[in-house]
Amino acid sequence: MTPTQGTTDLLPIIDLGLYLANPDSAEAIVESKKAADAIRDYGALIVKDPRVTEKENNDFIDMMEDYFNQPFDVKLKDARPDYGYQVGVTPELTEDPKCPKDPHCINIIDHIPEANRPLTFDGPDPKWRFFWRIGEQPPTTQFPRLNAEPVVPEAFKDVWSSTMDAWGNTLHKAVLGLAEMIAVGFGLPKKTFVDMAQYGPHLLAPTASDLNKYGKVGTVLAGFHYDLNFLTIHGKSRYPGLNIWPRNESEKLAVRVPDGCLLVQAGKQLEWLTGGVVQAGYHEVIVNENTIKAIENKKNDRPLWRISSTFFLHIASDNVLRPLEGVFDTEESRAAKYPKIHTGDQVRKELGLIALIEK
């Protein structure tokens, strides 16, 4: 199932509404199989959730534009490097993509036809990020640094929590519904992934790039990488620039999220639990000609920041990652490639590789 064009119009669109209406209906089961096939074959899909409104997304992006438009030193008060930046703000030029140092990643790039390779990048990303915890805290955990208390910016203390929680909980519900559908589609009990994700350190994780400063065509805002978590779900950004590589194949797809829909990508934890049947999807964020067109067509005085509307769903830190028994552990090579590991240890290792936490 190799795409033939360079847009995400070819990604399957999954109707979560069918599942929400009656998860046991024939239509919902067919749609669940479609979701599992899509995440397996592409590492990404588009999901339509009738509960999602553009207003929530826009309210969220408005606040994030205003927040990141503050002076550097004001934002820096919200950074928590002692917690691996897993709460609060991560300044620009802090997160260092591991790809240039990772032989496996370099090999993937080398096998992509030159015209479809990611843009060359060297050094840390120029994007900012803010991590806001969504969901229940674990009663006890071996990994307190991955489950820290949230940071509320002083200038936004009256609206921050309510706005972040409103959009974060919307994305959380949507991605949990999709996780059920994927489980059903793979022939697993529907709560398999949802139960493993209970008490996970889920994060509403908007990134922000200053297009006044980094608005030149060819600028890499987030270098070629995969996500370390279970599933990543995005709302619609106001400025294009996200490219994805389905199943790490040769085709590069420019993301275009339809109104009322969300983009979902597979992360490393899902790859681990499926023994590689699902692959974590590689992607980049760049400034391209379409980004510039969106800037030129801007008709308001909003701050010129590219905000991603992103949520990371995690498996709980104290759960063990391994190919799921009886379904994805049928080949010995899978156990060797995806050995048992606490999810918190997997996260800490990945954070060390991108320079956010000491190894």
The position carrying tokens 């085709």 is 251
Average pLDDT estimate for 266-285 = 95
**229 inside domain:** yes
Q: How far is CA 51 from the centre of its chain?
A: 20
SS3 content of the chain, % helix, strand, coil (to 5): 40, 20, 45
Confidence of residue 145 (pLDDT cuts 50, 70, 90): low
Which residues are CB-neighbours of 41 under 8 A, at least 6 positions away? Answer: 1, 246, 247
Read off the DSSP letter of residue 7.
Answer: B
**3 inside domain:** no
**6 inside domain:** no
**204 inside domain:** yes
Give the domain extent around 171: 11-353
Residue 233: strand pairing partners: 264, 311
Burial class (CB in 10 A: 0-12, 13-18, 19+), 66: middle
What's the pTM value of the predicted model, to 2 decimals? Answer: 0.92
Identify which of 57-61, 81-85, 234-238, 270-274 has the greatest average pLDDT. Answer: 270-274
**4 inside domain:** no
**21 inside domain:** yes
Report the side by side order of strands in the sheet with 253-254.
220-225, 282-286, 242-245, 253-254
Q: List the CATH number of the domain containing 214.
A: 2.60.120.330
**5 inside domain:** no
> Which pLDDT belongs to residue 4?
40
Q: Hey, what amino acid is at 308?
A: S
> Which pLDDT belongs to residue 286?
97
> Which pLDDT belongs to residue 31?
98
Residue 326: count of CB within 10 angstroms of its CB: 9
Min mean pLDDT across 12-26, 93-107, 216-230 is at 93-107
**128 inside domain:** yes
Q: How many domains does the chain have?
A: 1
